[in-house]
Chain A
Amino acid sequence: GAGVSQSPSNKVTEKGKDVELRCDPISGHTALYWYRQSLGQGLEFLIYFQGNSAPDKSGLPSDRFSAERTGGSVSTLTIQRTQQEDSAVYLCASSRRGGLETQYFGPGTRLLVL
């Protein structure tokens, strides 16, 4: 079937605004992951979901970041009061289950905060 999809592909926003980034995982994949790719930090893990549950939120960079997943499918990453340092590519991945199942990545959302 289709791969992981993310929307929007690009987002430009003004500092202080809120943004929502969406991820549609591969159908049937129970595990979903968010990563961030930025010039200064490289690729870093943010959060993962087992079904609709996110057991560990410690990877989120600040309390302005939140994520949810509904129906064991679509996930939304929300950044409130965006800052310029939030500019990055936000990547979503999914896998059939946890463990060492291959994580399949979406094309990412490129976020630019002016």
Chain B
Amino acid sequence: AQSVTQLDSHVSVSEGTPVLLRCNYSSSYSPSLFWYVQHPNKGLQLLLKYTSAATLVKGINGFEAEFKKSETSFHLTKPSAHMSDAAEYFCVVSHPISGGYNKLIFGAGTRLAVHP
């Protein structure tokens, strides 16, 4: 079965410092992985996705993630945090259901706080 584990429930950084949000996955085959962000009182927005092409995936707003099969990890990084990055981040793995469709399996989320 597919699953993801987000290793930190809360991360706090200062504005301008790097961001690292950690995610490990479990999958019986080559997974498709995503990071979604949820700002307060807003819907989920896709940051980036990995679907077995390049292992380093670039997303929106300067975020990127690297798929490391040997470590079963898909950590999200950003070189320099902005105040507007404060939100909840979800690591997600897709799981096939019927008819060629996939459901998304979400991690528990990491709340990122950015301090001035």
Contacts and interface: CB of A to CB of B under 8 A. Distances in A.
Q: Most B CB atoms within 10 A — which of A35, A59, A93, A103?
A: A103
A42 B108 contact: yes
A107 B32 CA distance: 24
Interface in B56-115: 90, 94, 97-109
B102 A107 contact: no
B24 to A, nearest CB: 16
Contacts, number: 59
A48 B103 contact: yes
B116 interface: no
A45 B103 CA distance: 7
Interface residues of B, number: 25
Interface in B26-53: 32, 36, 41-46, 49, 51
Interface size class of A (residues with CB under 8 A): 20 to 34
B105 A91 contact: no
Q: Which of B32, B51, B90, B102 has the most CB of A within 10 A?
A: B102
B103 A59 contact: yes
A90 interface: no
A42 B111 CA distance: 13
A55 interface: yes
Interface string A2-19: 011000000000000000
A102 interface: yes
Contacts of A50: 99, 101
A103 B105 CA distance: 12
A105 B42 CA distance: 10
B97 A100 contact: no
Contacts of A44: 106
Interface of A: 3-4, 31, 33, 35, 42-45, 48, 50, 55-56, 59, 91, 93, 98-100, 102-108
